[in-house]
C-alpha cells in the first residue's frame, strides 16, 4: 500500500482548497478521502483537473490519498500553451530563445541548449519576490539569478514554449530517502516531449546535489515523489479565480479572497514500493 496523509489545523473562517492528485507514468492516485470537514469536488476546466474544496468541521482536517505504482501517460493538456503570465515568454525573451537555438539541427538539440542555458542562469535559493514581479509575462533575465524549483521550472517552461517545444510543469510531494515516511518538501519538475520522446527534468535537484551536468530524469537527489497537479495559471470558475499561479498542495482561501499557504503535517507510507 502506498499512502499519503496530509493534516492541517483548522483556520477560523477559511476554506481549504487542494488538488485531487495527478496520474503519471510512475504513480497514480486511486482514492482521496477527507476527514474533519465537509467537502465537494470542483474542476479547473482549462486543464481538466479536479480539486477539492473543504469547509472544516473539526480542529484538524486530513487528506488521505492511496496510490499505486505506474499510471497513465502525462495528459495532453499539460503541454498546451496557456494564456498565463507565469509561463508566457516576453518579447525580448522570445528573441533570446531564437538566437540561442539558431542553427540547431533538431528540437532535441535545441532542447539540450535550452536546458544547459537555463541551468547556467540560476543559483538555487528562495526569493522574496517573483521573477515576474510587476510583469505581464516571463521576462528576460540579465544575469545570474537566485531561484527555487518553481522559479527555475517556470522559466524553463517559458523558454521551451518560445522554442515551440512541448513542455509541461508538474508539482507534488517529494519524500527524501533520509526521511522515507515524512517530508516538508513540495517539489516540481518539467516534462518535455520531442522526437526523442518524453523526458523529465529536475534542474533544481541537480543544483542542490552539486551535479553540474544536467541530465534527464527525476533525480539525482535520492527520494520518491507523488504528483498532485500540473500547469501554472489556474482558472477555477466555482471560486471566481483566474490565473492562479498553481495549486500543488492544500491552500487556505480566506474570506477576503486571498490565498495563504498552510502548515502541513505530512506522513507517507510505501517508500520501498516506489524505489
Which CATH number is 51's domain given? 2.60.40
Structure pTM?
0.94
Domain annotation covers residue 191: no
Q: How confident is the model at residue 134 (pLDDT cuts 50, 70, 90)?
A: confident
Burial of residue 63 (number of CB atoms within 10 Å: 0-12, 13-18, 19+): buried
DSSP letter (8 states) at residue 239: G
Domain annotation covers residue 188: no
Residue with cell 542555458: 117
**Size (the chain), residues:** 275
CA distances from 274 to 3, 70, 141, 148, 235 (A): 11, 9, 37, 25, 32
Domain annotation covers residue 79: no
Domain annotation covers residue 130: no
Q: Is the pLDDT of residue 83 over 90?
A: no
Domain annotation covers residue 217: no
CA distances from 120 to 24, 107, 112, 123, 265 (A): 28, 20, 12, 8, 35
Q: For all residues of the chain together, what is the average pLDDT? A: 95
pLDDT of residue 78: 97
**For residue 108, what are the contacts with CB-CB under 8 A and spacing of at least 6?**
194, 195, 196
Domain annotation covers residue 62: yes
Domain annotation covers residue 51: yes
pLDDT of residue 75: 96
* Burial track 229-256 (b if 16+ CB lie within 10 A, e otherwise): bbbbbbbbeebebeebbbbbbbbbbeee
Q: Which domain holds residue 24?
A: 2-73+228-274
Separation of CA 41 from chain center:
20
Q: How confident is the model at residue 95 (pLDDT cuts 50, 70, 90)?
A: very high
Q: How confident is the model at residue 142 (pLDDT cuts 50, 70, 90)?
A: confident
Count of structural domains, the chain: 1
Residue with cell 499519503: 4
**How far is 146 from 177, CA to CA, in rounded Å?**
26
Domain annotation covers residue 56: yes
Amino acid at each position: 500500500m502506498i499512502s499519503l496523509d496530509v493534516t492541517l489545523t483548522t483556520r477560523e473562517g477559511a476554506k481549504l482548497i487542494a488538488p485531487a492528485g495527478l496520474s503519471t507514468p510512475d504513480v497514480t492516485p486511486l482514492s482521496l478521502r477527507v476527514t474533519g470537514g465537509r467537502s465537494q469536488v470542483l474542476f479547473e476546466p482549462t486543464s481538466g483537473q479536479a480539486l477539492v474544496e473543504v469547509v472544516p468541521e473539526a480542529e484538524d482536517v486530513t487528506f488521505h490519498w492511496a496510490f499505486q505504482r505506474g499510471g497513465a501517460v502525462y495528459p495532453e493538456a499539460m503541454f498546451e500553451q496557456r494564456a498565463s503570465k507565469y509561463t508566457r515568454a516576453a518579447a525580448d525573451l522570445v528573441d533570446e530563445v531564437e538566437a540561442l537555438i539558431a542553427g540547431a539541427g533538431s528540437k532535441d538539440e535545441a532542447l539540450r541548449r535550452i536546458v544547459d542555458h537555463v541551468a547556467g542562469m540560476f543559483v538555487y535559493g528562495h526569493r522574496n519576490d517573483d521573477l515576474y514581479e510587476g510583469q505581464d509575462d516571463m521576462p528576460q533575465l540579465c544575469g545570474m539569478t537566485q531561484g527555487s524549483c518553481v522559479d527555475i521550472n517556470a522559466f524553463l517552461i517559458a523558454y521551451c514554449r518560445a522554442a515551440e517545444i512541448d513542455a509541461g510543469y508538474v508539482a507534488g510531494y517529494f519524500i527524501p530517502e533520509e526521511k522515507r515516511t515524512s517530508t516538508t518538501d513540495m517539489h516540481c519538475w518539467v516534462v518535455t516531449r520531442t522526437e526523442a520522446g518524453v523526458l523529465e527534468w529536475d534542474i533544481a535537484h541537480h543544483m542542490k546535489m552539486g551535479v553540474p551536468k544536467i541530465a534527464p530524469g527525476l533525480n539525482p537527489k535520492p527520494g520518491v515523489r507523488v504528483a498532485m497537479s500540473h500547469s501554472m495559471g489556474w482558472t477555477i470558475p466555482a471560486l471566481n479565480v483566474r490565473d492562479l499561479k498553481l495549486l500543488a498542495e492544500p491552500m487556505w482561501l480566506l474570506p477576503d479572497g486571498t490565498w495563504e499557504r498552510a502548515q502541513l503535517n505530512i506522513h507517507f507510507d510505501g517508500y520501498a514500493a516506489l524505489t
